[in-house]
Structure 1
Amino acid sequence: MKKTLLYLLLLFPIALLAQEINYDETKVPSYTLPNPLIMEDGTKVTSKQEWIEKRRPEILDLFETHVYGKAPASPKDIQFEVLSENRYAINNMATRKEVAVYLSEDKTHKMTILIYLPNKRTGAVPLFFGLNFKGNHTICDDAEITESITRMKPRDGGDEIRPHAFKRGAASSRWPVEMLIAKGYGLATVYRGDIDPDYDDGFQNGIHPLFYNEGQTKPRPDEWGTLAAWAWGLSRAMDYFETDEDIDAGKVAVFGHSRHGKTALWTAAVDTRFAMAVSNDSGCGGAALSRRRYGETVGKINSLFPHWFCENFKQYSNNEDALPVDQHQLVALIAPRPVYIASAIDDRWADPKGEFLSGVHATAVYELLEVAGLPVEEMPAVDQPEMRGNIGYHVRSGDHDINSYDWEQFIKFADIHLKDKY
């Protein structure tokens, strides 16, 4: 927790010092959550058909309008290109591919998917897929990975492009490539900066301008922020996975840590092609209930990261009770597909209890769809994962990070829900 706060204080000292942070459970206010099984007009949802045809689209629209923003449809003629392929990577254990996904017709804007697939396979394999923070070349100490063009907030008016900003393999502790390959899973990742760099520049440096109407200079109040843009990019990668005969596109788990965990949940909500979602330490705007106002709040997240959500979301800063949705409904949008929520006990900023409670309150929707949700209502003990339902959960020892313990649980959960399908 100290490490998390130090990082935030270094980046945003004025904003954080100006707002009190609540880490006292006795100061969590009373709140009433919107019921995922009651329509906005008060009608109760009592059947699968009503959920699928009426309530789910209603909740999805509320999230698009008030939280993440509406994203454009996929380009009609999206283009892919295999840039490199090595069938003898990771000590001959894996095939490594780099695939360009061109996000504009003139091929001026592309993202690059880095893919590792186990060589020991008899057919298409299931896949874990998510964004990385620092570039494709940082997830593995593999000299042949093309270095991502690092895009970061300019310093003193300088260029956003930072050549060699991060060393090869710098983030390898978060990416257990060999473990996944040995377990029979593929791994794919995209550098988030290929889609939209993670800083507020008025939505000029990412993919947003590719979709502006004539005369438009920024997204409308109910249009996509950066998280929704990242989710849109992950869906375009799924467009590619559906064309690759080595990948079982029906068995792709979208995962993410921290802000990427928020993105993974939203991606799975809007794109039902993803078979499973994994959220690690995703906090406010991810798995944590906003109405608890614990740790990071809507007001804080909108102040620190004004580009993440749509403009409409700002009206709920320090006004969470007015939100027409809360994050348990985001988890419910993924039903009946499996979702795993992971927390860290010292990561109070992300509100572990609030993350757990989203699973609890989403369970009614899973049960309506005749599958088990989260089968417990009391938070499990530290390092005691709960995987008996289609909503899995653990809170581990330690702080804000993603490590081998987390990955071991994600793989076990995927074995339960995907293993019999490959």
Structure 2
Amino acid sequence: MYERILDLLPRQASGNITCPATPNPMPKAAAFPSQKTMPDPFLYLDGKTRVKSKEEWYQCRQPEILKVLQEYQYGYYPDHSLETVTATRSGNKLDVTVAAGGKTATISATLNLPSGSGPFPVVVAIGGIDNKVYTNAGIAVVTFDYSRVAADRNSKTGAFWTLYDGRDIGVLTAWAWGFHRVLDGIQLKVPEIDAKKSGVTGCSRLGKAALAAGLFDKRITVTMPMCSGIQGAGPYRYSLSGQGENLENSARAGWWTSSGISQFVGKSTKLPFDAHTIVAAIAPRAVILEGNSGDQFTDTKGTATITFPAAKSVYNWLGVGDQLGMAIPSGGHCAMNAYSDVLPFVQKVLQGKQTSRNFDDLGSWKAMTEAYPWAADLPKGQ
């Protein structure tokens, strides 16, 4: 039987570190103070204890953030140890079959391989992507039909729900699960691809799913959420550009997340996390955030001037600042030129290639430091 992965007792870490206990039960929205600025990612859920060292961040706080995000946004990710994954391949078609709880479901993926023998790094994508830009650069692109993993509506149909019907899990998490199972299939049946050098990407709601995919699987080397907005890399607490996307209007697609976030509708300042917390929880693995400068729907400016620098302060503190970048190409929502724009960062991570591009450059925008005041007082411990 699937168990929620909550630690109800103090978590023991190596050395002399004892992790603070995660509250049980997890607090409801009413229990959290209202905070207009981005929450301090170093502050535990108990509201009084703060991270003191990098070792403590990785052993205690980062795992707690994952639990917080599952409790209040994504739903609890299925236990992969209870799944059996097999795969078959015919040419450029890859079928991945997952068995769990006496049921089976299949995901079909398409392989787009560069010329040569490989093994090639790979970007796993849902939705449209400029395949040739990547395959010409020696990076494989593997795509799959997200709608067959989980329909983008409240019908709870698709491969994921065949196995996990009845779970309080958002569709973003279901799509993230699809990314991971496709990566399993690649490892099993595609020797031309080096699955240890993998990226995940998608745009808009699929960018939200790509961010979730990077969060829940440490095999992902670089996470590439494009124009992802609210429930992705767009801040809940601020809306600086686009159509004014916020928790309230995005919640109309209530199937994207678990029911846990519904209690914060109209109370987003009570959320114990924000988009920067999600990004920081992926460290030290690489993330390239992207938003088009003319995006008419999602909050590129908020992502660039708040989420990115707030998360960057955590990456810098951990000594891995070069693993987080921001790209702001021209164009509107999900403009295809974005994929070539982030390519140098992806090549740096997946292929070890040098780039002169400054992925900290916000152009005419400036970091909105007043939105994350805690960054002026980072933990002193190493």
Counterpart of 1:22 in structure 2 is: none
Counterpart of 1:198 in structure 2 is: 152
Quick check: 1:101–1:110 contact (8 Å CA) kept in 2? yes
Instruction: Indicate whether 1:312 and 2:260 are aligned.
Output: yes
Counterpart of 2:58 in structure 1 is: 52
CA distance in 2, matches of 1:254, 1:66: 23
Quick check: 2:83–2:98 contact (8 Å CA) kept in 1? no
Structure 1: 4+ residue segments shifted above 6 A: none
Equivalent in 303, 310, 320 of residue 355 of structure 1 = 303
C-alpha RMSD of matched pairs (Å): 2.0
Quick check: 2:172–2:209 contact (8 Å CA) kept in 1? yes
Counterpart of 1:322 in structure 2 is: 270
Consecutive unaligned residues in structure 1, runs of 5 or more: 1-28, 86-96, 133-173, 213-217, 373-388
Counterpart of 2:111 in structure 1 is: 115
Distance change >3 Å, CA 242–CA 108, structure 1 → 2: closer
- Deviation digits for residues 223-269 of structure 1, max 9, x if unmatched? 31111011011111121222332211111011110011101111111
Q: CA deviation at 1:406?
A: 1.0
CA distance in 2, matches of 1:204, 1:240: 22
Instruction: Indicate whether 1:300 and 2:249 are aligned.
Output: yes
Instruction: Indicate whether 1:182 and 2:189 are aligned.
Output: no
- Deviation digits for residues 71-104 of structure 1, max 9, x if unmatched? 212243211111x21xxxxxxxxxxx21111133
2:351 partner amino acid: K
Quick check: 1:110–1:194 contact (8 Å CA) kept in 2? no
Distance change >3 Å, CA 417–CA 200, structure 1 → 2: same
TM-score by length of 2: 0.77
Quick check: 1:71–1:228 contact (8 Å CA) kept in 2? yes
Equivalent in 282, 290, 297 of residue 342 of structure 1 = 290
CA distance in 2, matches of 1:176, 1:349: 21
CA distance in 2, matches of 1:399, 1:420: 30
Counterpart of 1:101 in structure 2 is: 96
Equivalent in 160, 184, 187 of residue 207 of structure 1 = 160
Counterpart of 1:129 in structure 2 is: 124
CA distance in 2, matches of 1:192, 1:288: 22
Counterpart of 1:25 in structure 2 is: none
Counterpart of 2:29 in structure 1 is: none
- Give aligned pairs, total: 312
CA distance in 2, matches of 1:396, 1:76: 40
CA distance in 2, matches of 1:205, 1:306: 17
Aligned residues with identical type, % of pairs: 29
Counterpart of 1:381 in structure 2 is: none
Counterpart of 2:38 in structure 1 is: 33
Quick check: 2:150–2:157 contact (8 Å CA) kept in 1? no
TM-score by length of 1: 0.70
Equivalent in 233, 236, 239 of residue 184 of structure 2 = 239
Instruction: Indicate whether 1:394 and 2:342 are aligned.
Output: no
2:258 partner amino acid: C
Equivalent in 341, 345, 348 of residue 416 of structure 1 = 348
Distance change >3 Å, CA 206–CA 81, structure 1 → 2: closer
Equivalent in 206, 224, 228 of residue 173 of structure 2 = 228
Q: CA deviation at 1:354?
A: 1.5
SS at match of 1:345: coil
Q: CA deviation at 1:293?
A: 4.5
Q: CA deviation at 1:317?
A: 1.2
Counterpart of 1:76 in structure 2 is: 83
Q: CA deviation at 1:130?
A: 1.4
Distance change >3 Å, CA 354–CA 116, structure 1 → 2: same
Counterpart of 2:221 in structure 1 is: 275
Structure 1 window deviating more from structure 2 (99-108 vs 224-233): it is 99-108
1:78 partner amino acid: V
SS at match of 1:235: helix
Q: CA deviation at 1:346?
A: 2.5
Q: CA deviation at 1:349?
A: 2.6
SS at match of 1:396: coil
CA distance in 1, matches of 2:77, 2:132: 35
CA distance in 2, matches of 1:319, 1:293: 15
CA distance in 2, matches of 1:260, 1:228: 11
CA distance in 2, matches of 1:211, 1:193: 16
CA distance in 1, matches of 2:172, 2:313: 27
- Deviation digits for residues 321-378 of structure 1, max 9, x if unmatched? 1111111011101111121111122224311122112111112221232121xxxxxx
Instruction: Indicate whether 1:66 and 2:11 are aligned.
Output: no
2:338 partner amino acid: D
CA distance in 2, matches of 1:207, 1:178: 30
Q: CA deviation at 1:210?
A: 1.9
2:288 partner amino acid: Y
1:60 partner amino acid: L
